[in-house]
């Protein structure tokens, strides 16, 4: 990992209680998941698109759920 596992976000929590960039097994608390699923100004990547990549969100969701701990 790259220092993102169980690390508090440095720029806002998007209203997610006890948010972390990536929370092993918990996409609902993972900012990464929230930002790629967003269509507002918090969207990531912030390219000129208002369309969510459902397959990409599902992939990240499965990946975060598959994590059991931080490496």
**Cβ contact 48:59 at 8 Å:** no
Average pLDDT over residues 2-29: 93
Lookup: tokens for 41 = 């100004």
Question: Could you tell me the pTM of the whole model?
Answer: 0.84
Structure confidence at residue 34 (pLDDT): 94
Please choose, from the candidates 44, 39, 47, the residue with its C-alpha nearest in 3D space to the C-alpha of residue 60: 44
Domain boundaries in the chain? 1-71
Structure confidence at residue 28 (pLDDT): 96
pLDDT digits (tens, 9 = 90+) for 28-52: 999 999 999 988 877 776 676 778 8
Structure confidence at residue 1 (pLDDT): 56
Peptide bond into 45 cis (omega under 30): yes
**Cβ contact 59:32 at 8 Å:** no
Tell me the pLDDT band of 17, cut-offs 50, 70 and 90. very high
**Cβ contact 65:25 at 8 Å:** yes
């Amino acid at each position: 990992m790259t220092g993102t596992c169980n690390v508090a976000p440095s720029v806002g929590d998007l209203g997610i209680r006890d948010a972390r960039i990536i929370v092993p097994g918990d996409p609902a608390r993972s900012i990464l998941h929230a930002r790629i699923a967003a269509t507002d100004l918090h969207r990531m990547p912030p390219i000129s698109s208002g369309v969510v990549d459902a397959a990409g969100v599902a992939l990240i969701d499965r990946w975060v759920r598959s994590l059991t701990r931080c490496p």
